[in-house]
Amino acid sequence: MSTVVSAAQLSARRRLSNRRETVAALLFISPWILGFLIFTVWPVIYSGYLSFTDYDVINDPNFVGLENYVTMFEDPRIALSLTNTLIYTILSVPAHIIVALVLAMLLLRAARASGFFRTVFFLPKMTPAVAVGVLFLLLFNGQDGLINKVLRAIGLPAPYWTTDPFWVKPGLVLISLWAMGSSIVILLAALKNVPVELYESARIDGANLWQQTTRITVPMISSTIFFLVIINTIAGFQMFTEAYTAFFGSGNTTYSNDAALFFVIYLFQQGFEFLNMGYASAMAWLLFLVITIFTVVQFVVSRRLVYYEGDQR
């Protein structure tokens, strides 16, 4: 009775246990696989198909070839909504990151009180976006809004944020800055990981605060800044709730809202208000293309600018 197991037996046993492990793993993962097939794969394929059709939910899709894509080029509201979205994103992403970084740096120096202030800065993030939209209408109201009363009191120009097409997007950027608590928290966590020794030696070398910030802080946390640039850009392109609440919907008869027509809002209108589901699907693919291009460009640019500790990538 030899207790020695032959190599063949061993590998057979291992193969069996491998197969068992694979089956068990796939069982655990099966909810996601199922959801992925039903709510991602099929929708992506069907959305691609719909983008070549004319479809209003009631009648069957009618194949129209490239018509939707051609129409998009001629539709002035596509250009308008895309421009609005670009302006909003280009304004909001840098504003967001600069303000969040300044606040996070202040928090880092606040020693014991930093926990309290972090809570306060994070709190607005909890406000439902609908309520943010309402607050925008009320606080930024041109005549009676709190913001303009303060601006007038200190002798600054008080633009009509909610009605003047030029000021609508800067106003929306400002209110979005209010709810940026998560960026502050993420940046603060990154700042805490910067080795204190770097600042000490820089100080000995006579570096001032500005030099320390631009030469040490920003490079050391550049991967976090890059992460925030990416997610904020994607979020900016998909801006919907705040602007839709404040400027669109069945009751809106008073405001001219072209300045707040963001791409996803127009897509939503085409798909669910005008029931042009084929056209809306084509729009979704255009949005996907634009976001992909931006993300790829950001990744390419980041290769030169972002520092990863230990160069992990």
CB 94, min distance to another protein, A: 18
Q: Which is nearer to another protein, 1 or 21 (CB)?
A: 21
Distance CA 53, CA 42 (A): 17
Does 106 contact another protein by CB under 8 A? yes
Within its chain, how far is the Cα of 307 from the centroid?
22
Among 3, 59, 250, 312, binds another protein (CB under 8 A): 250
**Contact between residue 246 and residue 136 where contact means Cβ atoms under 8 Å apart:** yes
User: 3-state SS of the chain: helix, strand, coil percent to 5?
Assistant: 75, 0, 25
Does 69 contact another protein by CB under 8 A? no
φ, ψ at 54 (rounded to 5°): -110, 115
CB 20, min distance to another protein, A: 9
Distance CA 15, CA 9 (A): 10
Kindly identify the residues of this chain, within the stretch 117-136, that bind another protein according to CB under 8 A. Answer: 117-124, 126-131, 133-135
Among 71, 213, 241, 298, binds another protein (CB under 8 A): 241
Amino acid at residue number 209? L
Among 82, 103, 172, 261, binds another protein (CB under 8 A): 103
What x-and-dash track marks residues 187-216 binding another protein by CB under 8 A?
xxxx-xx--x--xx--x-------------
User: Which of these, 143, 144, 142, 132, lies nearest to 174 by C-alpha position?
Assistant: 132
Kindly identify the residues of this chain, within the stretch 278-297, that bind another protein according to CB under 8 A. Answer: 280-281, 283-285, 287-288, 291-292, 295
CB 149, min distance to another protein, A: 6
**The Cα angle at residue 44 between residues 297 and 282, in degrees rounded to 5:** 70
